[in-house]
Structure 1
């Protein structure tokens, strides 16, 4: 069977959406570091939507460590299929990636592309590890950073490439580019800026000053569930496309991209294709943590106690779905300082619709991972704010108590917890008796509960919630939820 490519694009079934522009008229204006599935299902789709009117913003995708994406997409002229997962799935072909480079083999080409005056934006999805940080600062002992400082003209890290690209532009009299971080990381642009400047200072103080004065590093917030590509997806799309696609991607229909409007060298009209331009990225991050991630954790712990496997199944369980909606609208939303123009109730409605999507098999067991790290930012911050405002926290305490019962059940059953505190939590869980005394032992985890553990206004309702869940059997949990 033929591969998907420019030549086979006209042969696709008419039901499949395809680029609404002549790809030969587009020019590369964006270099993306980390051309993985999320970028191709998210940012590249927004760019695909705007190229018909703004052809100067096509993408060069760069894989920093692997050649796999290049080898899959190069024979396909950069084309790939995107499956939008919903009750009525949709399929479209994305054409915004005009070039794919493997940095380990084509480093010189990557640097030339970064130095190209037509390139005005560099975007990144390299995960938190790719920032090579130690706390909030650049980890100068990181092997990749140490290598790049020793050989800055042949970088291997994202930070090294960004700096060397900017050095070449300064040397050649080319304006700096905007560095737009798109990783799911709070203050992502700020972290990248600090890393870049600390790296540049080690090489050349004048270069660092030039970067600080000319380049910008906007923050952003991204959101869309993107399951991994597997052979089942390839087989299904082969039948629909009538040709082979070596690396299609899939995601839920919902997508969100919020970007700080701080570009130094021009930008596309992102807002025209659904991007929210805002200077309140921290507010959007907090809203996502509290209104999306906290209910996710609530479903994970209480749903697991009910014997439920996935988010969609949890939302098909009325007693749990009703509780989660009441929690979001009545207990969480009042404690979210919404950014300008942000409609919390509409956002909640969109989240609930996403949770119900039967095409996304998001397992509660996976969402339950790392609870000791997630609870403080997802739920305990909301509880602190609610207490300060004199609001009830009774409903908010139920998912926290649910986590405690989840730890107790997993430990009693001999199931290891996926959590940095696995050893400590397992010991606590095995010793727990299901009575009020358990709560005090959990609250002694200072890295989780901090000052809240000594606040009786929190301890008393948490203890009551823990006892309400009783033996944590499905019947008892269901009864507690219906009465909450």
Structure 2
């Protein structure tokens, strides 16, 4: 059983072993898309195949749409050479459900795969051809927040940029020359106000080129004209870990031969298959200038910009991200390496359940299109306990200092703005107290561990360096320096009326081996 086999007549073993096949004429869709493309996606990683491409597959399976998506990679070209083209752009989505069921679906919505660089002249010429086609409606992105960066050196390269957003702007110039054709640039990356990041990057290149006379001033007007080019916001949420050994083994036992991991020179982990969680959300600002693919047929919610912002705040400030950070801090200290295993720990589960439902819910932003209580219940009962998802607290703990101001600072500010009782923030205080213990890098048994990468890690670890994990008196005055940092916590915790309580909890957490478990249990059960 190989992916390429489905282009021929497949045997009964695919259905017998639960593999879902495309319900549309693959060659007809490819031919129509080649002639009249509507959607190009930049970023050929695992998230794209597990989510946007799978959403489009649902639209195609419904029979109500007839165009696929063309995927483009602008950073790690080996992904195209090793994970797309050898399989004729087909892939297998393995959905790992929390009840133990496995859904296996062959994804055939990707019709072409291209490398965005002039060193591949045929690919670049095809991209230019696509961008000059009036049928093109949307280009989208899953290139991570770093992908929208604009380097001064790249701006100086003129019309020969190296970075992906420079190449996108160059392709937009081709579309401008073809008649100022309308287009929407749709970020699907997991970062706040993501459409603005796309727009800022495009304008940086267009302004520089116009200033140097490399393009006419009218091109800059084109990319700024909301009747021609738009940059909607979106909120995306789905976990797609690296290819997992357990999934590989399961596929091998099925007789599915394309079950191996591909590791590129640029350190990308990919495979002919993608393993992903079952839960997914994609909420998009409905602001398109040339129509759009009907992704609502695959579950996308199209709303206005204000609603996208509310959904983002609900997720990031209340119903998911703060819970993730809380369990990553305590998970690392208590020696866990799997999120699902943490959810079997009554104290950790109690911490995040009460943190979400009792302390954060009073200030949750209700977006209307998703119920906060339902969202958080899915997090607690399906997403985090899923034993098939190989996610780790160490991954989530990466860059914690950059996450705390939004994930906890915004809740504190909301309590202040509404005049709510700050004394109610017991478990939130416990999480922030745990951060000092985490920075020390000593687990609850007294064994050293390496905190996850963070741009402020060494600076913050130096603050707590004088503290020891031991019973008895010691000087905790250094905590005042830590918990006064507005850049880390979003507020001065002492001015907010929480500093002294957090300090007291931190003292308990440093009170020798076993103190973390004891303190965590004490406050969770009391709450």
Unaligned runs of 5+ in 1: 134-138
Q: Does 1:273 align with 2:282?
A: no
| Partners of 1:239 and 1:413 in 2: CA distance | 39
Contact 1:323 1:481 in 2 (8 A): yes
Q: State the Cα distance separating 1:421 from its structure 2 match.
A: 1.9
Q: Does 1:99 align with 2:112?
A: yes
Q: State the Cα distance separating 1:40 from its structure 2 match.
A: 0.9
| Partners of 2:285 and 2:490 in 1: CA distance | 32
Aligned to 2:262: none
TM-score (norm. length: structure 2): 0.83
Q: Equivalent residues in 2 for 1:20-419 (5 A)?
A: 20-26=23-29, 27=33, 28-52=37-61, 53-71=63-81, 72-86=83-97, 87-104=100-117, 105=120, 106-133=123-150, 139=151, 141-143=152-154, 145-147=155-157, 149-151=158-160, 155-173=161-179, 175-203=181-209, 204-213=216-225, 214-229=228-243, 233-234=247-248, 236-240=250-254, 242-244=256-258, 247-279=272-304, 280-290=307-317, 291-352=319-380, 353-389=382-418, 390-391=420-421, 392-410=424-442, 415-417=449-451, 418-419=453-454
| Partners of 2:327 and 2:41 in 1: CA distance | 35
Contact 1:5 1:77 in 2 (8 A): no
Contact 2:404 2:490 in 1 (8 A): no
Unaligned runs of 5+ in 2: 210-215, 260-270
Q: State the Cα distance separating 1:35 from its structure 2 match.
A: 1.2
Distance 1:230 1:482, change over 3 A: closer
| Partners of 1:7 and 1:306 in 2: CA distance | 50
Match of 1:441 among 452, 472, 481: 481
Distance 1:194 1:422, change over 3 A: closer
State which drifts further: 2-11 or 275-284: 2-11
Contact 1:186 1:285 in 2 (8 A): yes
Distance 1:464 1:384, change over 3 A: farther
**1:363-395 residue CA offsets vs partner (Å, 9 max, x unmatched):** 112222222211111112212212332232222
| Partners of 1:186 and 1:336 in 2: CA distance | 17
State which drifts further: 414-423 or 204-213: 414-423
| Partners of 1:91 and 1:425 in 2: CA distance | 45
Q: State the Cα distance separating 1:409 from its structure 2 match.
A: 4.1
Q: State the Cα distance separating 1:121 from its structure 2 match.
A: 0.9
Q: State the Cα distance separating 1:475 from its structure 2 match.
A: 3.2
Distance 1:460 1:40, change over 3 A: same
| Partners of 1:234 and 1:6 in 2: CA distance | 20
Q: State the Cα distance separating 1:5 from its structure 2 match.
A: 4.5
Contact 2:296 2:302 in 1 (8 A): yes
Q: State the Cα distance separating 1:23 from its structure 2 match.
A: 1.5
Q: State the Cα distance separating 1:473 from its structure 2 match.
A: 3.6
**1:73-94 residue CA offsets vs partner (Å, 9 max, x unmatched):** 2232211101111221111100
Distance 1:456 1:167, change over 3 A: closer
Aligned to 1:4: 4
**1:233-276 residue CA offsets vs partner (Å, 9 max, x unmatched):** 44542443544366211111111111110011111232232111
**1:201-251 residue CA offsets vs partner (Å, 9 max, x unmatched):** 333320111222211111111111111126664454244354436621111
TM-score (norm. length: structure 1): 0.90
| Partners of 1:241 and 1:123 in 2: CA distance | 35
| Partners of 2:249 and 2:415 in 1: CA distance | 50
Q: What is the alpha-carbon root mean square deviation over aligned residues?
A: 2.4
Contact 1:31 1:122 in 2 (8 A): yes
SS in 1 for 2:19: coil
Contact 2:347 2:520 in 1 (8 A): no
| Partners of 1:323 and 1:451 in 2: CA distance | 22
State which drifts further: 217-226 or 299-308: 299-308
Distance 1:475 1:59, change over 3 A: same
Contact 1:468 1:480 in 2 (8 A): no
